[in-house]
Structure 1
Amino acid sequence: MWPRSERGAGVNATTINPLDIATAEQHPDGLLRPVPFRGYMLLCGTRSIEVWSNSGNPEGFPFSWSHTIPSGLLSQHAIAGGTDEFAEILLWVSDDKTVRRLDGYEPTVVSPSWLNRRLSALQNQHTLEACVYTSAGHKFWQLSCDEWSVAFDVTTGKWSERNSYLQKRSRITQAFPIGDAFPNVTKWLCGDMLSEKLQEITADALREDGQPLVWMMESGEVKNFPNSIQVARADFDFVPGVGIATGDDPIQTDPSVEISWSNDGGLKWSRPLIRKLGRQQIAQHPPYVLNTGLSGPRGRRWRITISDPVDVMFFGADQKADVRAT
């Protein structure tokens, strides 16, 4: 139920007409928060989201019910987007523990099964916090809680982890754009959970307030079921020569990648082997490892990790049973 000012007194009046109210039209689920979206007002409840429009009613509540979206909001801060600066893209955590995007009036599920399981296992749903930002032409919707952070690249449709160095979750909180009116947004700023500073989100930042931004990727299982594989060689195709000649030595001048593997589906990992990515503009053979033994009954998984502050581009990897194969 939502009261409004007495029409005769004006929108900024302090007097309230007790008859100027509106109620939920389909589910009496209460109101968690209102969200403006494409000229409408989305009234988000725990079981549904109602779309209301300003129809200029001469009496009573000034907005009129238009449509009901059959998806609720899990917690008050688990919704973000919908503004001009974010191309009017709105995503939220639904009451069924999935992440959904509003396509017209259709709440389309965009979360993968592993994220749905995390949301289902969450002990305190009220710690969920969503925010949006753009970087290097990509639009990101980020979801955090006390235990983890994930980011959805709306541009590519891919999900990734977004934890900060030695932290369970991302330091980013409450991102917002600054600059002239849309589309001339010049910067995206955010709060910092650790330093309590105001930070800028930019692709030019290779560290996070002085701390490493760790890049890590894990492969699926490479199998030859039911047989084990003699892993004689594995090649990892990175863009070479990404060192920065004028950067910090050696983490920028001669950057490295750590390569490790698991034979039990990711429960235990080998000690990482360090390989070079190449000094600035020096072309070299892509990083590789030799004679890493037999894969396990669940195949072989690979993990590559880079903490050095350089730009990285990865194309793929290849695993061979014969060291002579190229």
Structure 2
Amino acid sequence: MVSVEFGHTSNKDKSGFVSNQRLLNGYAEAMGRAAKSSLPVYAVPGTSRFDQGDTGLDGPCRGMLYVYGKGLYVIAGTRAALFDDAGNATEVTGEIAGSGMVIMAANQETDPKVGIVADSVYYVLDTATNAIAAPGITTLPAPNSVTFLDGYLVFSIADGRIFHTALNDAETVNALSFATATSRSDGLRRIVTHRGALIALGEASLEIWENAGTTPFAFAPIRADIDIGCIAEHTVASVADSLLFVDHNGVVRQLTGSEPVRISTHAIERAIAALSWEERRALYAVYTHFNGHDFYAITSAYWTFEFDVATGLWHERASGDLEYWTARGHASFNGKVVIGSSLDASLHVLDDASYTESGQPYLFVAQSAPLHAFPNGLIVDQLDVDIIPGVGITSDDNEAADPKLMLDWSDDGGTTWTGGRVAALGRVGERFTVASFHQLGAAPRGGRTFRLASSSPVMRGILSAKARVRAIAP
């Protein structure tokens, strides 16, 4: 018997004959050498519906922000609402024009004001009255992002200038309260707070600014020699005390101290490079956390790749029949992880007890590395998959009561697939189930890639796999 390395990660090479590993809607968990499997693979956590009743929201999620002592503010469509931790909504009056994603930050007033930048227009949400308005500050040029630090709402301007408000006053900006990021003439894409400093991201540069206590502008640069920028402002996310974003070359970076380290793989970078310039600019990120895993997902119209900080591995996400995950907008709120939707105004929470996306099934796929004996071909007599057995539940839904695992395979680097074999994952209590597949035929010298898949709404996990093979003389 030989081991078959099933997808702990998504890492497709330019040629599927080199590597065709894929992990869709699944993640690996490092368990150490004492475990039966040191790196088992599980289906990603499901979701359940968060919002209750009529919310007044009228379109896809554009952004959300938890404000301490108030609740969760969500902007979806042109409207906003305040949610308590039970998912009940309170109307926020006023509208935010456009449909693009927004960037939000709250100050430290007794009733905080939330600064919102949407399509280069600045709005203020007053949490005392739950009303939104555009103050029309003539001394503030059109901003493209906002953040908060040391009592100030701070704005980036596309031309490279940085402005800030008066101290804890969201509607006053001194015309002289600005400075310019000057390391390169590449403007600014985003300004964000990280570890008590401002990170000013240009298209091809990164500067770090700190509060210098000066007037009329409070901040000064402490480092301006990093020639790495940001291609898409909505890929910037604070994840586990680090800052992640997609840089100007289509590389995913992680900034922990002051050095942005590459964390993407060549497979991710090829996927980004295949996008048009406009599609790269439209990339956005969602940050979620679950049982010690910090997940950072970047989404285009064609895919979602998600990075697991705990393992340093990438996998893919997709909702239903779509090629991408529909999550958009994210917040941690009173022990819950809330995500919005790119399709509608619905809100959802990660739910360890759910094995669907709020009632909709999702497909879990693990694709193996090529199994080969080059320069010989192989006859595959048997494939045994060590699964988590007996995961069926008592249900009228046969998919849940008698869950299944599907197998197919490719002998041409993933171009075509055949097989259609099915094995049981085990009904409730069937704890000795093993998914075994027999008489799988001959594989050529280039090797064979196996693909396991299950859409059954139950816990799904793969520990390891072994194949009984015989070499074919060349």
2:385 maps to a residue whose letter is F
* Offset of residue 104 of structure 1: 1.1
Look up the SS of the partner of 1:119 in the other structure: helix
Look up the SS of the partner of 2:220 in the other structure: strand
Q: What stretches of structure 1 move > 4 A for 4+ residues in a row?
A: 4-7, 10-13
* Offset of residue 12 of structure 1: 5.3
The equivalent of 1:62 in structure 2 is 218
The equivalent of 2:306 in structure 1 is 151
Instruction: Choose the corresponding residue for 2:257, options 95, 104, 109.
Output: 104
Alpha-carbon contact 2:383-2:438 (below 8 Å) kept = yes
* Offset of residue 254 of structure 1: 1.2
2:196 maps to a residue whose letter is G
Deviations 1:231-273 (A, max 9, x none): 11111110211111x2343111111100111111111111311
What pairs up with 1:158-307 in 2 under 5 angstroms?
158-179=313-334, 186-244=335-393, 246-307=394-455
Instruction: Choose the corresponding residue for 1:125, options 268, 280, 292.
Output: 280
* Offset of residue 194 of structure 1: 2.8
Alpha-carbon contact 1:131-1:143 (below 8 Å) kept = yes
* Offset of residue 11 of structure 1: 5.2
Q: Equivalents in 2 of 1:199, 1:217: separation in Å?
A: 25
Q: Equivalents in 2 of 1:283, 1:178: separation in Å?
A: 37
What pairs up with 1:66-105 in 2 under 5 angstroms?
66-68=222-224, 69-81=226-238, 86-105=239-258
Q: Equivalents in 2 of 1:161, 1:222: separation in Å?
A: 22
Query: When the two structures are superposed, what TM-score results if normalisation uses the length of structure 2?
Result: 0.62
Alpha-carbon contact 1:29-1:48 (below 8 Å) kept = yes
Once superposed, what is the RMSD of the aligned Cα atoms? 1.8
Instruction: Choose the corresponding residue for 1:16, options 161, 170, 174.
Output: 174
Look up the SS of the partner of 1:232 in the other structure: strand
Q: Equivalents in 2 of 1:232, 1:150: separation in Å?
A: 34
Relative distance call for 1:12 and 1:276 in structure 2 (3 A) is closer
Look up the SS of the partner of 1:252 in the other structure: helix
Deviations 1:65-122 (A, max 9, x none): 01133310011212111xxxx4312110011111010131111111111000011111
Q: Equivalents in 1 of 2:252, 2:383: separation in Å?
A: 36
Look up the SS of the partner of 1:231 in the other structure: strand
Q: Equivalents in 2 of 1:217, 1:122: separation in Å?
A: 25
Q: Equivalents in 1 of 2:458, 2:436: separation in Å?
A: 19
Alpha-carbon contact 1:74-1:94 (below 8 Å) kept = yes
* Offset of residue 6 of structure 1: 7.8
The equivalent of 2:34 in structure 1 is none
Alpha-carbon contact 1:34-1:44 (below 8 Å) kept = yes
Q: Equivalents in 1 of 2:170, 2:419: separation in Å?
A: 66
Alpha-carbon contact 1:129-1:144 (below 8 Å) kept = yes
Instruction: Choose the corresponding residue for 2:463, options 296, 315, 323.
Output: 315
Relative distance call for 1:60 and 1:194 in structure 2 (3 A) is closer
Instruction: Choose the corresponding residue for 1:2, options 151, 162, 180.
Output: 162
Relative distance call for 1:134 and 1:156 in structure 2 (3 A) is same
Alpha-carbon contact 2:241-2:256 (below 8 Å) kept = no
Higher strand share: 2
Look up the SS of the partner of 2:400 in the other structure: coil
Query: When the two structures are superposed, what TM-score results if normalisation uses the length of structure 1?
Result: 0.89
* Offset of residue 191 of structure 1: 0.8
**Relative contact order, CA 8 A, sep 6+: which one is greater?**
2
Alpha-carbon contact 1:5-1:17 (below 8 Å) kept = no
Alpha-carbon contact 2:174-2:216 (below 8 Å) kept = no
